[in-house]
Amino acid sequence: MSDQADPPFDPADLAPRPGTRLAIVGGCGGIGRALVSAALKADLRVAVLDLPASLAAHPAPAGVAAHALDATCEDQVAAAFAALDRAWGGLDALVNLAGFMMMRRPFDQTPAGDWRSIVDGSLETTHVVARAALPLLRRAGGGAIVHTASGLAYRVLPGYAPYSAAKAGVIALTKAIALENAPAIRANVIAPGAVDTEFLSGGTGRAGIATQLDREAYLKTIPLGRLAVANDVVGPILFLLGGGARYMTGQVLMINGGGLMP
């Protein structure tokens, strides 16, 4: 029998506690804006880090710190987190929503430049951002990270090779971060299916390309019978950041209406 204390469950632990210092990379996208709104309602301290064009299109709300960066650029990411550290003196939680895809093509017809751009947009951003955020999380005594993968990391479809490979890499990298930084820092992954945001039509920052989703065919594969909306993803993110998920690390949380059950 364990001799560890097991405090009573507190429903407040289903989200981060008020005052939690949360950085959201990609906070200007559809999911990001919904997450910012929910975090403010929960009385979290919020910083949004995103591309200059994204911040111009969707300025951060009042009371939210905004830092412009290209998350594939190590120097820009380091400068943004240094500024955040000067303002906050540490960090309690990180959510990285960065990522994009381009025109669907067979693997052997994908230009090398497009391959690198897509992999950099998801996997390299995860690497660069996590390296910059970890010292701040350690300074705070620990915290939680949520990275973003995709169901396409598990069920690979024709034309998505670089995106699927990048998102599978995000999952593996997150597991490594979880192992190497336990028990103080937890790291988990969300893997959404298609979400009805600007991402499906090209994104909010980079010159992306629509995902060419056949909505009618896609919906036939979803037991819950509808496309996800941004707030369907917000709840699982906040749960993974909160104390209710205190015994979860290195895990992948599927958010797809039942369309994929690995």
- The pLDDT assigned to 150 comes to 96
What angle is formed at CA 70 by the lines to CA 172 and CA 206, rounded to 5 degrees? Answer: 95
Q: How many residues does the chain have?
A: 262
- The pLDDT assigned to 2 comes to 57
Q: Is 154 a catalytic residue?
A: no
The predicted-structure confidence for 115-171, as pLDDT tens digits, reads as follows 999 999 999 999 999 999 999 999 999 999 999 999 999 999 999 999 999 999 999
Distances (CA, A) of 103 to 43, 70, 174, 262: 39, 21, 27, 27
In contact, 22 and 46? CB cutoff 8 Å: yes
Confidence of residue 77 (pLDDT cuts 50, 70, 90): very high
SS3 for 89?
coil
Domains and CATH numbers, the chain: 13-255 (3.40.50.720)
pLDDT above 90 for 183 = yes
Out of 154, 163, 218, 247, pick the active-site residue. 163
pLDDT above 90 for 202 = no
